[in-house]
Amino acid sequence: MTAKQEWLTIAQDALTKTYVPYSHFSVGACLVTKEGKTYQGVNIENASYGLTNCAERTAIFKAVSEGEREFQHLIITGKTPEPISPCGACRQVMAEFCEPDMPVTLVGEHGVTKEMTVGELLPYSFSGKDL
Ligand code: THU
């Protein structure tokens, strides 16, 4: 199995761990550090809907809270007919911690995939450089 296939397996496995009693819409993620360590993320909902945390942000926050700062790849999976499209909030958080050329693999049902970069997902982004 290639490293990328392992990362995909981790992201798919996350779909079994989501907490989605309200939307029943599971999203999984696997964030990979430059050293090759993986962080799995799931979406975690709340009865106060706006407090929901998306899968990608869960993975990023898990990694950052462990001291990680350098990432090489993010895989996001969902059960959507097309490759899943990450929300705007997650794109902004990706842009905070990942280089614009970092690849992001978007995966939908039946393994349909789309390869993008952080910069393609959020062009002309607002960042710390603007402050
Ligand atoms: N969701 C994610 O986990 N990631 C995204 O990028 C899109 C949306 C979650 C949030 C919520 O639990 C469910 O999908 C429906 O919006």
Which neighbouring-strand residues pair with 104? 74, 116
Domain tally, the chain: 1
Which residues are near ligand 1 (CB < 6 Å)?
Answer: 20, 23, 25, 27, 43, 45, 52, 54-56, 86-87, 90
Please indicate whether residue 6 is annotated as part of the active site: no
Q: Whole domain around residue 88: which residue ranges? A: 5-121
Structure tokens at 24: 């029943």
**Positions at the binding site for Zn(2+):** 54, 87, 90
Query: What confidence tier does 128 reach under pLDDT thresholds 50, 70, 90?
Result: very high
Query: What confidence tier does 44 reach under pLDDT thresholds 50, 70, 90?
Result: very high
> Residue 56 belongs to a domain with what CATH number?
3.40.140.10
Q: 83 Cβ partners below 8 Å, 6+ apart? A: 106, 107, 108, 112, 113, 114
pTM of structure? 0.98
Q: In the predicted model, what is the mean pLDDT of residues 49-67?
A: 98
19 lies in some domain: yes
- Which of 22, 27, 61 for mutating ligand 1's site (highest number of atoms within 8 Å of CB)? 27
For 63-113, write each residue's pLDDT tens digit: 999 999 999 999 999 999 999 999 999 999 999 999 999 999 999 999 899
